[in-house]
Amino acid sequence: MSCEHLVCAQCAHPVIEGRCALCRANRERMHHHGFGGLSPALIILLLVVLLFLTLALKHLSGL
């Protein structure tokens, strides 16, 4: 869902414009994604890299 088509109940303007404090707060809440400011794709990439590093260390310790 995006805030492009939502109308604020307080100021009756599109939320995307952020004309009042309620619009700005809801727009910020809707656009908050990820964990700690990181996008979901970046989090997945970091987990995959961590998996490969773990497998590489396990392989090297087994030699």
For 9-46, what is each residue's pLDDT tens digit? Answer: 899 998 888 889 998 888 888 776 656 667 788 889 99
Q: What is the pTM of this model?
A: 0.47
- For the cut 60, the answer to whether the pLDDT of residue 8 exceeds it is yes
What's the CA gap between 32 and 25, in Å, rounded?
11
User: What are the domain boundaries of the chain?
Assistant: 1-32, 34-63
Amino acid in position 39 = S
Residue 36 · residue 23 · CB < 8 Å: no
